[in-house]
């Protein structure tokens, strides 16, 4: 039996609504053809006083704007989106780690068509608690997927759109059916792209190596964070280059990184142990550096953290917030 608690509140087109009222029509182009873009943003529990911190909110909004532009969705991001997200967290009374998803999608077209011009856009924000995944401590077992990663010439991977995730879904389902935790996908050149839901990185001879964005990656905010922390906090040399499939087998360490995955060690690929078959020391150091920053236990990169209750506390008390 699931112990997941359903949120009480969401936000849709300018107003807070009950969770069950946050709906999109079944005839919408978002449903029929997957015409929607979204973001995945973390809010992290702070180290004291029950605060929550939105992490790198401005960078996520910038990526959302780019996705809207490339996908040709005629939507404007609400100017008060940061306040909306903060108030939504406070309204639901959360103090634990939360995953937030602003979501813009095409509604029902004027002529009810699948691909016709459509000015009707719905903008939604939902949020759900997102506790630390078990694999972050134990590590994940991956397989190289038989599904090639999407490419710029088909449906651009830098757009965070629902339609792109069908390719990811097939790879992830194949991996789970075959007894793995997750997959890693290759691009059309046969080199490593990323996992269905996260970027891939390896460690070889003390260097952190990750495929470049043109290898078929989503332009990941978490990846950018990890590369910066590796270089400036831990002094680890960073290299962005193409990665061969066989390099995954001989890497000293490997990990996934993303808003959902955070930093998840990879302990085997195709049943071949990566390094010692356990989370590696550099991966663990990066995890520690990452959590210190996102939870505000260090002053470093305060510009990446937006406090929720400090901004919204006047209207939504930190404990027992509600709206009737």
Q: Which residues contact 241 (CB under 8 A, 6 or more apart)?
A: 209, 211, 212
Question: Which residue do the tokens 């605060």 mark?
Answer: 51
Contact indicator for 99, 41 with CB cutoff of 8 Å = yes
Question: Which of 143, 160, 295, 305 is labelled catalytic?
Answer: 160
Per-residue burial over 160-187, b = 16 or more CB atoms within 10 Å of its CB, e = otherwise: bbbbbbebbebbbebbeeeebbbbbbbb
Query: Residue 158: which region, alpha, beta or left (left: phi > 0; alpha: psi -120 to 50)?
Result: alpha
In angstroms, the CA 302 to CA 317 distance is 23
As given in the structure block, the two tokens for residue 201 are 């990185």
Contacts of range 263-267, beta carbons closer than 8 Å, 24 or more positions apart: 263/136, 263/226, 263/287, 263/290, 264/133, 264/135, 264/136, 264/139, 264/140, 264/198, 265/135, 265/136, 265/138, 265/139, 265/140, 266/139, 266/140, 266/141, 266/142, 266/200, 267/138, 267/139, 267/140, 267/141
CA-to-CA separations, 258 to 11, 83, 298, in angstroms, rounded: 24, 24, 21
In the annotation, is 143 catalytic? Answer: no
Query: Where in the sequence numbering do the catalytic residues fall?
Result: 160
């Amino acid at each position: 039996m699931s112990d997941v608690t359903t949120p009480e509140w969401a936000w849709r087109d300018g107003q807070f609504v009950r969770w069950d009222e946050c709906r999109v029509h079944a005839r919408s182009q978002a449903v029929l053809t997957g015409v929607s873009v979204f973001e995945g943003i973390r809010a992290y529990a702070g180290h004291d006083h029950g605060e929550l911190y939105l992490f790198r909110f401005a960078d996520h909004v910038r990526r959302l704007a780019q996705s809207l532009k490339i996908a040709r969705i005629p939507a404007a991001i609400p100017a008060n989106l940061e306040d909306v997200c903060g108030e939504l967290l406070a309204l639901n009374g959360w103090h634990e780690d939360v995953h937030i998803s602003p979501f813009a999608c095409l509604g029902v077209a004027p002529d009810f068509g699948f691909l016709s011009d459509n000015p009707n856009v719905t903008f939604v924000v939902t949020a759900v608690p997102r506790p630390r995944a078990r694999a972050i401590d134990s590590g994940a077992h991956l397989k190289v997927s038989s599904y090639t990663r999407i490419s710029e010439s088909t449906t651009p991977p830098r757009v965070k759109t629902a339609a792109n995730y069908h390719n990811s879904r097939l790879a992830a389902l194949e991996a789970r059916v075959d007894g793995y935790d997750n997959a890693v996908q290759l691009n059309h050149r046969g080199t490593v792209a990323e996992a269905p839901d996260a970027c891939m990185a390896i460690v070889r001879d003390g260097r952190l190596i990750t495929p470049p964005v043109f290898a078929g990656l989503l332009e990941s905010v978490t990846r950018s964070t990890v590369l910066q922390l590796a270089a400036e906090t831990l002094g680890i040399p960073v290299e962005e280059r193409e990665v061969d499939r066989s390099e995954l087998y001989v890497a000293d360490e490997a990990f996934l990184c993303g808003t959902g995955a955070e930093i998840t060690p990879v302990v085997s690929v195709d049943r071949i142990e990566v390094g010692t078959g356990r989370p590696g020391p550099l991966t663990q150091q990066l995890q520690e550096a990452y959590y210190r920053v996102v939870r505000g236990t260090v002053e470093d990169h305060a510009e990446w953290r937006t406090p929720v209750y400090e901004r919204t506390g006047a209207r939504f008390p930190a404990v027992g917030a509600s709206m009737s």
